[in-house]
Amino acid sequence: MTAAPIVIVLAAGEGTRMRSSLPKVMHSIAGRSLVGHVLEAAAAVEPAHVVVVVGHGRDQVVAHLEEIAPWVDTVVQEEQRGTGNAVRVAVEALAAQGVLGGGPVIVLSGDTPLLTGDTVRSLLTTQQDSGARATVLTADLDDPSGYGRVVRDADGMVVSIVEHRDADEGTLGIREINAGMYAFDPQALVPALGSLTTANAQGEEYLTDVIGLLREQGDPVAALKVPDSDEILGVNDRVQLAEAAALMRDRINRRWMLDGVSMLEPESIWIDVDVDLARDVILLPQSTLRGPTSVASGARIGPGTTLISCEVGEGATILHAWCELAVVAADATVGPFTYLRPGTTVGAGAKAGAFVEMKNADLGARAKVPHLSYVGDAVIGEGSNIGAATIFVNYDGVDKHPTVVGRHARIGSDTMLVAPVTVGDGAYTAAGSVITEDVPPGAMAVGRSRQRTIDGWVERRRAGTAAAEAARVAQQEEAP
């Protein structure tokens, strides 16, 4: 039985063209960092060990890896002296640990987020089945300018990799390029790495020179051409980051549409890799689903909606809303222009309507907050109705306090519920009230002054104004 492979991920480069204080491999697309995508692809071959070579911004990268993939090892390339040097540093660390066995060594680039697990598996299989000492991952490009060309013999084995600047006219016509990712027999890789030199224009140790050394001594080198050249695209600047994000978006959206999700304008819909969608979900334009969001069958999301780490039940509708760490239960409706903040639950058949903000609030089944209200640190019972412009006054300037509204209660428009306060089951509050004391079940609470009307005030205090003139005309029309 063939030993499990070891995967080395190269992530030490500075990425100067990103023009960022964040190390290049930590930039993200579709809710996952560039290096995180590569590690996910590497996991497809069930490696015995994964080693990430770090260098620039090492503290940030190591901390990031400890968060997203604590099972990987890291090794530091103190000076960025080329890909060959980076692999040698990793191999030496593996050998020192006594874990460099007989299994293949796969080398991947940490800035190729579109690489798939299927391709990594195929790379490993090709290496194992071909009998070669190394396998090069390649791709056909319509414009291969600047890339090293892969020259093969009649049997399809690699003869050489010729850099663009060194290629003659015939070699320049080759469209197959070296993707910079490989599988090696460790028994061939280790001595070849020891023979690398820095006798080149960059003064670096090139991993491509290992392929040349193997060929010089007559060792066979195979190649695996990816069917989709997008997979091997690296990210070196913000333009390429955006291009990779768009390609990932299209890949994710296509998969979901083929699995039964409707998207009326897929190019405007962005879905993270950790999102889970059921069949018959409808996603409308300008919607974004981030983090571990899940959406159940029949739910309708958008337009103009962002969900971050949310759970949405069957048949729910959310439009023109921003929701984060919230739960929207089956058949509930949210929006338009609604903000659900962390800790909010909208119960089955409930409604959080237009211009409503909710935070750490539990809206019971079939309860309604239809419009223009703030609900914070609250529990609202089933079937209750919160009138327009109601404010749950939860903050006293120092601490937050809870409000409880019972089942089938009615809160009048423009009510202020000053927490901590409880409104009992079936109770009412009058419109315009400020409620500072508990309201018993079935009671009506009125917390406002009696209206006082001062006749003739406008004529006396606002004489000569348009209001005074309008009042004068109205009084004349009403006079007998």
Spatial distance between the Cα atoms of 395 and 250, rounded to a whole number of angstroms: 44
- Asked if residue 117 lies in contact with residue 106, where contact means CB atoms within 8 angstroms, the answer is no
Confidence bin at 80 (pLDDT 50/70/90)? confident
The fourth-level CATH superfamily of domain 238-445 is Hexapeptide repeat proteins (2.160.10.10)
Confidence bin at 1 (pLDDT 50/70/90)? low
- Asked if residue 406 lies in contact with residue 427, where contact means CB atoms within 8 angstroms, the answer is yes
The pLDDT assigned to 23 comes to 95
Q: Which is it for strands 105-109 and 176-184: parallel, antiparallel or unpaired?
A: antiparallel
Spatial distance between the Cα atoms of 430 and 423, rounded to a whole number of angstroms: 12
The number of CA neighbours under 13 Å toward the Cβ of 33 is 20
On the 0-12 / 13-18 / 19+ scale of CB atoms within 10 A, 292 is middle
Question: Which element (helix H / strand E) includes 190?
Answer: helix 186-194
- Report the candidate in 172, 184, 241 with the shortest Cα–Cα distance to residue 208: 184
What is the mean predicted confidence (pLDDT) over 442-463? 93
- Residues whose CB is less than 8 angstroms from the CB of residue 168 and which lie 6 or more positions away in sequence, other chains included: none
The pLDDT assigned to 204 comes to 79
Spatial distance between the Cα atoms of 83 and 136, rounded to a whole number of angstroms: 14
Looking at the DSSP bridge assignments, the partners of residue 362 are 345, 379
CATH of domain 6-232: 3.90.550.10
Spatial distance between the Cα atoms of 299 and 296, rounded to a whole number of angstroms: 6
* 6-232 shares its CATH topology with 238-445: no
What's the predicted TM-score (pTM) here? 0.91
What is the mean predicted confidence (pLDDT) over 169-177? 92
Question: Domain segments of the chain: what residues?
Answer: 6-232, 238-445
Confidence bin at 3 (pLDDT 50/70/90)? confident
- Asked if residue 418 lies in contact with residue 437, where contact means CB atoms within 8 angstroms, the answer is no
Within a 10 A sphere around the Cβ of 401, how many other Cβ atoms?
Answer: 15
Confidence bin at 201 (pLDDT 50/70/90)? low
Active site residues per annotation: 371
What's the pLDDT tens digit per position in 10-25? Answer: 999 888 999 999 999 9
Alpha helices in 26-116 (DSSP H): 34-42, 58-68, 83-97
What's the pLDDT tens digit per position in 144-163? Answer: 988 889 999 888 899 988 88
Which is higher by pLDDT, 117 or 450?
117
C-alpha 291, offset from chain centre: 5
User: Is residue 35's pLDDT more than 90?
Assistant: yes
User: Is residue 199's pLDDT more than 90?
Assistant: no
Helices 208-216 & 83-97, crossing angle to 10 degrees?
80
User: Is residue 321's pLDDT more than 60?
Assistant: yes
User: Is residue 198's pLDDT more than 80?
Assistant: no
User: Is residue 185's pLDDT more than 80?
Assistant: yes
- Asked if residue 13 lies in contact with residue 111, where contact means CB atoms within 8 angstroms, the answer is yes
In Å, what is the CA distance from 125 to each residue of 85, 130, 151, 309? 26, 8, 21, 37
- Report the candidate in 121, 124, 123, 49 with the shortest Cα–Cα distance to residue 90: 49
